[in-house]
Structure 1
């Protein structure tokens, strides 16, 4: 059943599939009534449930933080499968704040106003609705193709399985949860969470990346032809993450996969530096367009053999480190 809601003030966490995660040390109540409604009493859960059923949600008002977070994801943290599921359409008669659609993997957004940067995992399509801009997730396009849609500015080639993003928009969570082989190339810098939970395919960023690059990576390849922010490769399960240099520690709670860095970086135990082999250098030459000598200078990081001798320690800033047991 469609949902129509009008809001008098800017609202946060609208259509947010992660609505009962802990934010700033307190839990949001998914069954609380969204404030500042005019003539309705919808809860946060009502809007999410409508989208899960494939229904349309129409909103009059301006969106604040966490709009359309992880739409289309059956969140494992909340008891789901972690897989991608179908989602309905969202219409917004108003403006949208930064980081909208972070982790979004299906469904369609129609926005009458502006969307502040950085965006999440979305690209703009040629609109089929007058007075609205249309957006789909990168993951949805990779999994299901364009169909009758067409991209604005960016380039998609189904036969070659490529998507090139070169519109100058700063984005986060690019290719979140992708499980189909595709090569996604981004010209320029990216925001946080590139390749999060990605199982297949390759993301190539010709620029720098933000925090949590390659976090929860689960079999795919993420290539950053620049530097990455804190917590690169956190919770990584498998796959390959490559970059030039990293800020802070890499590999927090990493359990598998391989990280390559041109510069030496600090690693959270049990991640440790391991020996580069011939096949590693060959991979670097392929992924980073490096020469033979340059490829041999990269540093390789994997899980060490003494994982049982470390204990997890959660820091005040929310980060996780592995501390060696004496």
Structure 2
């Protein structure tokens, strides 16, 4: 354990766990351990030691859950801090968001940093490769580091003393115009708040949302609205394949082509799009009066849309 120089007194009192890397390592501080429930530990397990270190992947996550910070010396790989701040039921947690410590990287970070992230901060000295996750940059309070915080955290708890870069928060509406491509925008959002993002996005927009609205003024990648359980997702353009996969509830509006394998394993909710290729038993249905009202309220012409149910 050690303490970083230049930190505020509150931060300097935290325990810091250090990891020194010889080469980039994927899935550090990944609260899902690379979606452990899918591969059952074949790809990554909390008990595995981080290469060239005594700490395990699980040690880093538990340290953050206990309010400590993690300091990574070297370059981090893909999926740094995935789902950070989520107390996942799969691992015996509550399923809710929890307070966590911060992560410092004295190097660069590869793609998908902070996907589905809901808490804590990430500080990076080097470059961050796009797409990034559910986060935006803020003015750093640590010399030599860029600072990133969760979009969902901002909408739930405000930005505090952090000054947003390329974004504007007005009440419960966050407008993002920072020019970066992001994954999982609005992940796990469960409050009546809104994200409006200018530009294209990549994977899993609005994944696991329960409330609120995410509006993307551009195209979206695969898995838009995956596991959606409430709220509204609007893509003002095309979406790639597997839109609405495992959807439970809520509304998805695609002002364009919703892609192939649309609504795979969909259990509930409403999908409205101009075009798409659904997976049976989902099929095209005539719009109901309520569907038309939804589209009109969002500024769209109902005559150009199809319902997939």
TM-score, structure 2 normalization = 0.91
1:165 equivalent in alignment to 2:165: no
Per-residue deviation at 1:110?
0.7
Q: Give, in angstroms, the shift of residue 135 of structure 1.
A: 0.7
The structure richer in strand per residue is 1
Aligned match of 2:257: 245
Whole-Å separation in 1 of the counterparts to 2:41 and 2:88: 20
Question: Is contact 1:21–1:28 with CA below 8 Å preserved after alignment?
Answer: no
Whether 1:260 aligns to 2:276 is no
- Cα deviation for residue 23 of structure 1 reads 5.4
Pick closer, same or farther for the CA change 1:31–1:172 going to 2, 3 Å. same
Q: Which runs of 5+ in 1 are unaligned?
A: 303-326
1:107-130 Cα shifts (integer Å, max 9, x gaps): 111111110000000100111111
Q: Which residue of 2 is the match for residue 218 of structure 1?
A: 229
Query: How much does 1:9 deviate?
Result: 1.4
The Cα offsets for residues 194-214 of structure 1, whole Å up to 9 and x where unpaired, read as 000001111111100000000
Where does residue 199 of structure 1 map in the other structure?
A: 210
2:8 maps to none
1:209 maps onto 2:225 in alignment: no
Q: Distance in 2 between matches of 1:239 and 1:129?
A: 40
Q: Which of residues 290, 295, 299 in structure 2 aligns to 1:279? A: 290
Q: Residues 259-306 of structure 1, C-alpha deviation per residue, up to 9 Å, x if partnerless?
A: 00112x22223323222122211211222x22xxx312311122xxxx
Residue 14 of structure 1 corresponds to 28
Q: Which runs of 5+ in 2 are unaligned?
A: 1-14
**Counterparts in 2 of 1:133 and 1:75: CA distance versus 1, 3 Å:** same
Matches within 5 A, 1:86-165: 86-158=99-171, 161-165=172-176
**Paired residue for 1:229?**
240
**Residue from 23, 27, 45 that aligns with 2:58:** 45
CA distance 1:23–1:96, change in 2 (3 Å):
farther
In structure 2, the residue matched to 1:297 is: 304
Task: Give the Cα separation in 1 of the matches to 2:87 and 2:308.
Answer: 31
Deviation at 1:84, TM superposition (A): 1.3
Q: How far is the alpha carbon of 1:150 from its aligned partner?
A: 1.3
**Matched-pair contact (CA < 8 Å) for 1:21–1:27:** no
The aligned residue for residue 320 of structure 1 is: none
SS in 2 for 1:185: strand
Query: When the two structures are aligned, how many residues end up with a matched partner?
Result: 292
